[in-house]
Amino acid sequence: MKVSTFSRIDSKSLGYIFLIFVFYCIGCDSQKKKGTDLTELTYIPSGILGLPDIPVPKNNPQSNDKVSLGAKLYSDKRFSSDGTVSCATCHKPEQAFVDKLKVSKGIKNLTGTRNAPTVLNAVYYKSQFWDGRRNDLEGQSKDPLLNPVEHGLSSHDDLIKVVKSDPEYTSRFKSVFGIDSDSIQIDHVAMAIASFERTIVSGNSPFDRYRFGKDEKALSESAIRGLNLYMGKARCQDCHTIGETYAIFIDDKFHNLGVGFKRIQPKLEEILQKKAESKNSPTSDEEILTNLESSELGRFAVTGVSEDLGAFKTPTLRNIALTSPYMHDGSLTTLEKVIDLYDRGGETNPFLSSGIRPLGLSGQEKADLLSFLKSLTSPVLPSMPK
Amino acid sequence: MDDRLTFKDRYRSRILLGVFASVFFFIFGTVSLLFADDWDKSNEDKWNAAFMETVARGEKLFHGPELGGNTVQCAMCHPNATNTHPETYPKFQKQIGKVSTLREMINWCIQNPLQGKPLAYDDPKMIALEAYIMYERRNSVLAPGKH
Amino acid sequence: MEEGKLSRKDFLRRTGGLLAASIVPMSLVEIACGGRGKGTHEKFTFAFISDPHLTHIKGTNFVRNFDNGLNKAIETVNLMFPRPDFVVFGGDLAQLGKREELDHGMELLSKLKVPVKFVIGEHDYYLDMGNYWQDKISKLNYSFDHKGVHFVVLNSILTYDNWIKRWKTPEERMNEMARLDNPNGSPFMVGDDQIAWLKKDLEDIKSGTPLVVLSHSPLYKIYKPWNFWTDDAEQIQSVLSKFDNVTVFHGHVHQVLYNQIKNISFYALMSTAWPWPYPESYTQSPHYIPKMTVFMNRQDPFHERDGTGWAFVNMDNAREEMHYKLWENKDRIVKYDESAGHPVDSTYQKPETRILPQTHY
């Protein structure tokens, strides 16, 4: 009676199976690329008020030499096709590790589709990039090098050639990783850059002194009212979470606020159909930064789950007053505009995250929230190691 | 030696006094339990009735649009006050971001899904809601802090 | 300790990621599983939207949250590729049966790009005993055939006459019926007239034909105090007993729920408005929740869409594959397992793979 499961497959079904297979392989492949995610973490104390311990992969322990090598690599403009772009170009150490531009400029002044997030406290994210397409700093650091609108290298070998030809690098790689020039690979470069970025943390803001340092005078009356709004009526706490003993102001999740989404919504059906039929999914780093349609799909471009349409990662709020403009596309120039966006319940669309809704804040309440956000600025920001 | 004896005697008399006092209070207490007005059966019925009246008021509030600004009712998500878990408070409440009491969570629900105005913690409505919720969860084991 | 904890979390997150990657096409592309069993029908997909409970406040004002739930389901169904053949609407379009609510609901549903098959719920019915619904929306019970499958729609939310007559006004009757945990409630039933109609409708249908029954209340008995219950369920089950494969899809319970009674598989639909708790969470009275059901997570009330969702079904050779699309939660696929003889959750059925309970109440 019973016929085996795959006994009757028509050609259409075969097509779908193939499609699923392709998706699956790409999915597996992208998981493999994130291999370092499987590494266990150890934690080292941050020693900074308001910050939790810093997670460090066991296979990439911190050392002073590695951090300073990472810092040098981070600032090296030779790792771009026209010699103009380093990591520090868009994540400027002297500007709270952002570039203050709407969307970043890469080689030949080419622009991408997304606002450069700060490196400050990026170590605490469980995924990197606005759509979380990399799981750690090591994985993140390699992608912009190859992106045609960022560093524009044709392959990581371009970078390795530069490193190998520079005696200072070869001797430092030798002392940090114990490897000869021939064995230097992009992963070593990524590990060094990530180690450097793990030192780019900042806390001890007036808010931290008030909340975790028991200094009741650290915040103004207005900022304290703002904090209460933040926890209650303004509904900030649920995503930009403040913990019991520390705060990194994130939930490690992705949300659709409707920002930028209306640009693609009328064509959404067409875009998704194209994506389902194309073999380039999950979407590549290059496509996300060069194709506005793919970019605005947000987290969906990584997962393919309809729930993730137009959803972007919750960013930290630490030093938020220093890192304008805001949102994944840099479309909001001031914090006032960001508060207004939330107050009106985001930009209405069918995939709007369900915690987002009109808040009915008064002018005074908005001003109080703003004072609170400004209290998240650290008095001292980390700088480049000498 | 003498001192010690004297002390022992004093000690003994204290025990005697203690035993005498205990017996006296025990008898007096038992008698008063049986006969005093406060423990009258009819009073107990009255008190129970007062409590159940409060529960009924709470039930009505819980099943009506009165608390909210958008006609949404508590019972929509919590029929028979299920999933309210009063026995787990105080506990860390994610939505409030701190260790909170049941009354604070009731107010959170009134302000958020119901879009209404929060109640004072001693508002008779708040007490009625608390009574109804607790009554529906009667016989649950206390588990403060539990998630 | 802390470290072990986190890496376990990471692991879970990772497996979540893998799952998401492999699920990619499932939300947008029909799944191909090939032939199985003795199916005689073409493969097809239909979608389910149920229990939006659109609530009129006043004027043109409706509860925003519930509108958003229905809109989200409609928009997502419209993005399915290929499109489902039709959408089944599982009932309770309105909260209090008002014309404003039904009109508003029809306006939202008109955005669906595929035809809709309507099932009525008690919230749509008890204000005017289904008059407006029958005028403007749909018949209350009917049947249709689609690609070799026979579909029957039942009005399962009828109740006893003396209860209906008990109330002074239609509004009072509606309000009493709208309260789920109402001690003055009255059990649902299909009723003798419809059972006679059903017998007649099924007379000429061969027993090998896959049969799908659509109702609002579950056509079995789960928990009477909340009307997760149909009083004459056994009679209906016996009418359906001659068929090899029967699947009942029902709304009303706003939760993931599935069961097998003899030849009949039962699946509940999610609501787009809010989730109901499982009856077992009420400790004061007993219930008959199907043991095989792997419960859904408790929802976080901050996120209004948590605990709500929609579903689609792949009909493939006499057996159904139910895809629960759970917003803000892990999607679930539940399908009939030949060897188990009942629906099985493809990922979470085994105790060791159960979804870890959510901890943020």
Q: What are phi and psi of A266, to 5 degrees?
A: -60, -25
Distance of alpha carbon A242 from alpha carbon A236, whole angstroms: 9
The one-character DSSP state at C83 is P
The residue among B35 and A294 whose pLDDT is bigger is: A294
pTM above 0.95, yes or no: no
The number of distinct structural domains making up chain A is: 2
Does the distance separating the beta carbons of A31 and C14 come in below 8 Å? yes
Bridge-based pairing state of the strands C319-326 and C332-337:
antiparallel
Same domain, A253 and A364: yes
- Partner C contacted by B140 (CB < 8 A): yes
Q: What is the pLDDT of residue A277?
A: 73
Q: With an 8 Å Cβ cutoff, is C15 touching chain A? A: no
* For residue B96, pLDDT beyond 90: no
Average pLDDT, chain A: 89
Confidence of residue A2 (pLDDT cuts 50, 70, 90): very low
- B52 lies in the same domain as B87: yes
Q: Are residues B67 and B32 in the same domain?
A: no
Cβ contact, residue pair B79, C276, below 8 Å: yes
Does residue B97 sit within a domain?
A: yes
Which of C282, C304, C305, C360 would you mutate first to test chain B, the one with the most B CBs within 10 A? C282
Q: For chain B, what is the mean pLDDT?
A: 85
Between CA C109 and CA C77 the distance in angstroms is 11
Are residues C68 and A354, on separate chains, in Cβ contact within 8 Å?
Answer: yes
- The answer to whether C231 contacts chain A (CB < 8 Å) is no
Beta-carbon-side half-sphere exposure of residue A354 (alpha carbons within 13 Å):
29
Q: The tokens of C333 are what?
A: 């696929």
C29 occurs within a structural domain = no
Q: Could you tell me the residue range of the domain that residue B52 belongs to?
A: 41-137
Beta bridge partners of B44: none
Q: Which of A199, A215, A241 is at the close of a domain? A: A199
**Nearest CB to A351 within list C34, C72, C338:** C72
Residue of B nearest to C65 (CA): B113
- Whether A282 is covered by a domain: the verdict is yes
Residues B26 and B83 in one domain: no
Q: Which residue from C minimizes the CA distance to A304?
A: C24
> What is the reported pLDDT for C227?
96
pLDDT digit string (tens) for A173-193?
A: 999 999 999 999 999 999 999
CATH number at residue A250: 1.10.760.10
With b for 16 or more beta-carbon neighbours within 10 A and e for fewer, the C11-45 pattern comes to: eeeeeebeebbbbbbbbbbbbbbbbbbebebebbb
CB C302 within 8 A of CB A238: yes
The 3-state secondary structure of chain A, one letter per residue: CCCCCCCCCCHHHHHHHHHHHHHHHHHHHHHHHCHHHHCCEEEECCCCCCCCCEEEECCCCCCHHHHHHHHHHHCCCCCCCCCCCCHHHHCEHHHCCECCCCCCECHHHCECCCCCCCCCCHHHCCCECCCCCECCHHHHHHHHHHCCCCCCCCCHHHHHHHHHHCHHHHHHHHHHHCCCHHHCCHHHHHHHHHHHHCCCCCCCCHHHHHHCCCCCCCCCHHHHHHHHHHHCCCCCCCCCCECCCCECCCCCCEECCCCCHHHCHHHHHHHHHHHHHCCCCCCCHHHHHHCHHHHHCECHHHHCCHHHCCEEECCCCCCHHHCCCECCCCCECCHHHHHHHHHCCCCCCCCCCCCCCCCCCCHHHHHHHHHHHHCCCCCCCCCCCC
Total tally of structural domains belonging to chain B: 2
**In this structure, is residue A339 part of a structural domain?**
yes
Cβ–Cβ of A7/C31 closer than 8 Å? no
**Angle, nearest 10°, between helix axes A335-343 and A363-374?**
130
For B51, C23, C179, C201, C301, the CA distances from C90, given in Å and listed in that order, are 41, 26, 19, 21, 24
**Planar angle of CA C24, C25, C28, nearest 5 degrees:** 115
In this structure, are B63 and B50 located in the same domain?
A: yes
Contact C361 B71 (CB under 8 A): no
Query: What was the pLDDT predicted at C361?
Result: 52
Residue the block writes with tokens 């993730």: A308
CB contact under 8 A, B113 and C275: no
Give the span between the Cα atoms of B120 and C31, in whole angstroms: 54
Residues A232 and A365 in one domain: yes
Instruction: Classify residue A112: in a domain, yes or no.
Output: yes
CB contact under 8 A, A304 and C72: no
Name B23's Cβ contacts closer than 8 Å, sequence gap at least 6. Answer: none
If asked whether residues A171 and A111 sit together in one domain, one would say: yes
Q: A4 pLDDT band (50/70/90 cuts)? A: very low
Does one domain contain both B120 and B90? Answer: yes
Question: Is the pLDDT confidence value at A125 over 90?
Answer: yes
Residue among C274, C282, C300 minimizing CB distance to B82: C282
Rounded to whole angstroms, the Cα distance separating A85 from A30 reads 26
The answer on B49 and B121 residing in a single domain is: yes
Domain that holds residue A343: 206-375
Same domain, A191 and A213: no
Chains with ≥3 Cβ pairs under 8 A against B? A, C
User: Residue C224, exposed/middle/buried by CB under 10 A (0-12, 13-18, 19+)?
Assistant: middle
Contact A232 B96 (CB under 8 A): yes
**Which residues on chain A are in Cβ contact (under 8 Å) with C10?**
37, 41, 126
- Whats the size of chain B, residue-wise? 147
In-domain check, residue C359: no
Among the three residues A168, A199, A230, which one is the final residue of a domain in this structure? A199
CATH number of the CATH domain containing B125: 1.10.760.10
Q: Is residue B65 part of a domain?
A: yes
The answer on A322 and A234 residing in a single domain is yes
Nearest to C36 among A5, A126, A281 (CB): A5
In a domain, A48, yes or no: no
Q: Are residues A225 and A328 in the same domain?
A: yes
Per-residue model confidence as pLDDT tens digits over A134-154: 999 999 999 999 999 999 999
Per-residue pLDDT of chain C (361 residues; tens, 9 = 90+): 333 333 333 333 333 333 333 233 333 333 333 333 344 568 899 999 999 999 999 999 999 999 999 999 999 999 988 889 999 999 999 999 999 999 999 999 999 999 999 999 999 999 999 999 999 999 999 999 999 999 999 999 999 999 999 999 999 999 999 999 999 999 999 999 999 999 999 999 999 999 999 999 999 999 999 999 999 999 999 999 999 999 999 999 999 999 999 999 999 999 999 999 999 888 888 889 999 999 988 888 889 999 999 999 998 766 889 999 999 888 899 999 999 999 999 999 988 888 776 654 5
How many beta-carbon pairs under 8 angstroms link A with C? 139
CA–CA gap between residue B48 and residue B53 (Å, rounded): 8
More confident residue, A385 or C215: C215
Within this chain, do residues B82 and B119 fall inside the same structural domain, yes or no?
Answer: yes
The answer to whether residue B19 is domain-embedded is yes
Q: Of A184, A199, A214, at which residue does a domain stop?
A: A199
* Closest by CA position to C244, among listed C334, C312, C336: C336
What CATH number does the domain containing C212 carry?
Answer: 3.60.21.10
Asked if B77 and B96 sit in the same domain, the reply is yes
Write the DSSP assignment of C296-344 as a string of letters: PPPP-TTSTTTT-EEEEEEEETTEEEEEEEETTS--EEEEEETTTTEEE
- How distant is the Cα of A382 from the closest Cα of chain C, in angstroms? 26
Are B22 and B87 within one domain?
no
Nearest 10 degrees: Cα torsion C19, C21, C25, C31: -40
Q: Kindly report the number of other CB atoms within 10 A of residue C355's CB atom.
A: 15
- Residue C91 inside a domain? The answer is yes
> Largest alpha-carbon pair distance within chain B?
85
Does residue C74 belong to the interface with chain A, where contact is any CB pair within 8 Å? yes
Query: What is the number of domains present in chain C?
Result: 1
Kindly state whether residue B147 falls inside one of the protein's structural domains. no
**Alpha-carbon distance A16 to C291, whole Å?**
35
In a domain, B14, yes or no: yes
- The Cα–Cα gap between B85 and C99 comes to 37
Instruction: Say what the pLDDT of residue C155 is.
Output: 98
Residues A227 and A95 grouped into a single domain: no
Q: Does residue B146 belong to any structural domain of this protein?
A: no
**C33 part of a folded domain:** no
Cα–Cα distance measured from residue C313 to residue A209, given in angstroms and rounded to the nearest whole number: 55
* Chain A: closest CA distance from residue C8 (Å): 10
> A13-61, pLDDT tens digit by residue?
444 444 444 444 343 334 434 444 457 999 999 999 999 999 999 999 9
The residue among B72, B92, B96 with the most chain A CBs within 10 A of its CB, best to mutate, is: B96
Q: Do C300 and B76 touch (CB under 8 A)?
A: no
- Binding site membership of A for heme c: which residues? 87, 90-91, 236, 239-240
Q: State the residue range of the domain holding C146.
A: 44-353
